[in-house]
């Protein structure tokens, strides 16, 4: 599953800062002047999913193993689903005509499956704005026009990059309403408020420490978590789970509407070639029963063929021949 989400926007909108926060490590080049990110940086980003913790607890209880502080057995490997993000250098007016290395940037955008468009709403005298003023509406209009003139029609998530103090302010919330009224933002194009600098600063903290810090700041959920989940949804992906020998729980991305055969191929090409059937149970049923073996004993699992359409959250064990 090589689906990619490109992070775009005008220079100094905070694209690379956001990208670094997404990866939780500094790999994209960030500087306080335009055109520093010429070659796109790509990274694999894990998709937050609380169901993995629940599955880990179930397997732990079933095996009667000791549990760690995070509620996850340390002997069980947990592998979340993931999607690719690409940091693409800033667009400028006239990009479709080659302005500001526009041809190179637009070629990178053509290769992605969806776009995260970062709009600047933060003030920083040390970070010059390409147009000399803070106007997210105008920024979005410039980028959208350049994409339209370049004949690029991609699904979009709008990210309003704010100061930390603006995260819970009325000004940011009011601006989202203004953006919605000035832009053609459909229900499939969400608008998310994020402080990219704060998220980057928090990247060195543990998940629990980040959660506590954000709670004190009056923020219920990390902006990055919201963004990653929104990107996953925008790509029309669902998640199915596998449990390997009671030792590894893995979440797998799959296009909505795909079959059990395609899911088997996602796990391993050999699984698709030797596919016999798939033993399936919903996440909810497995949690209610409390274990895979118990679910089998109670007849809660079922066997499906290769044309079965997989639903989000299903736990699958593939039966394959040699």
Other beta carbons within 10 angstroms of residue 30's beta carbon come to 17
First and final CA of the chain: distance in angstroms? 25
- Phi and psi, residue 290, nearest 5°: 100, 15
Q: What is the pLDDT of residues 176-224, one digit of tens each?
A: 776 766 665 544 678 898 999 888 888 888 878 888 888 887 788 888 9
Q: Express as a percent the part of the chain with pLDDT over 90.
A: 36
Give the CB-side neighbour count of residue 233, counting CA atoms within 13 A: 13
Provide the edge-to-edge strand list for the sheet that holds 114-120. Answer: 41-46, 82-87, 4-8, 114-120, 156-161, 191-194
Q: What is the pLDDT of residues 140-169, one digit of tens each?
A: 888 888 888 878 878 999 999 998 888 877
**102-110 and 136-149 helices, crossing angle to 10°:** 80
Contacts of 159 (CB under 8 A, 6+ apart): 18, 116, 117, 118, 119, 191, 192, 193, 194, 196, 227
Q: What is the pLDDT of residues 43-83, one digit of tens each?
A: 888 889 999 999 999 888 877 655 555 555 557 888 888 88
* Of 85, 121, 135, 103, residue with least CA distance to 38: 103
**15-23 and 223-234 helices, crossing angle to 10°:** 90
pTM of the model: 0.84
**Collapsed DSSP state (helix, strand, coil) of residue 88:** coil
Most confident of 7-16, 111-120, 169-178: 111-120
The domains of the chain, with CATH numbers, are 4-48+82-234 (3.40.50.300), 51-80+236-320 (3.10.20.30)
CB under 8 A, 24+ apart: contacts of 218-221? 218/167, 218/168, 219/167, 219/168
Place of tokens 């500094």: 26
């Amino acid at each position: 599953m090589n689906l990619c989400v490109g992070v775009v926007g005008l220079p100094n909108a905070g694209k690379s800062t956001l990208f670094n926060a997404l990866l939780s490590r500094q790999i994209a080049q960030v500087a306080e002047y335009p055109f520093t990110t010429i070659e796109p940086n790509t990274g694999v980003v894990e998709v937050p999913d609380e169901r993995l913790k629940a599955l880990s607890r179930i397997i732990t209880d079933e095996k009667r193993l000791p549990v760690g502080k995070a509620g996850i057995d340390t002997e069980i490997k947990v592998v979340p689903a993931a999607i690719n993000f690409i940091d693409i250098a800033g667009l400028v007016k006239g990009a479709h005509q080659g302005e500001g290395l526009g041809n190179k940037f637009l070629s990178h955008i053509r290769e992605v499956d969806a776009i995260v468009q970062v709009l600047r709403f933060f003030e920083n005298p040390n970070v010059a704005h390409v147009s000399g003023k803070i106007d997210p509406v105008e920024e979005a209009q410039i980028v959208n026009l350049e994409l339209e003139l370049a004949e690029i029609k991609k699904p979009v998530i709008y990210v309003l990059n704010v100061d930390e103090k603006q995260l819970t302010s009325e000004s940011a919330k009011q601006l989202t309403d203004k953006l919605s009224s000035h832009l053609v933002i459909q229900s499939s194009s969400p608008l998310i408020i994020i402080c990219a600098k704060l998220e980057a600063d928090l990247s060195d903290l543990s998940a629990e420490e980040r959660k506590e810090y954000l709670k004190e700041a009056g923020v219920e959920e990390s902006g990055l978590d919201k963004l990653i989940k929104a990107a996953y949804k925008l790509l029309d992906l669902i998640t199915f789970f596998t449990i390997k020998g009671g030792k590894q729980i893995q979440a797998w991305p799959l296009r909505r509407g795909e079959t059990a055969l395609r899911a088997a191929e996602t796990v391993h090409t050999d699984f698709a070639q030797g596919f016999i059937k798939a033993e399936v149970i919903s996440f909810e049923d497995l949690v209610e029963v409390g274990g895979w073996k118990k679910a089998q004993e109670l007849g809660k699992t079922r066997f499906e063929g290769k044309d079965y359409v997989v639903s989000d959250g299903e736990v699958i064990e593939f039966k394959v021949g040699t």
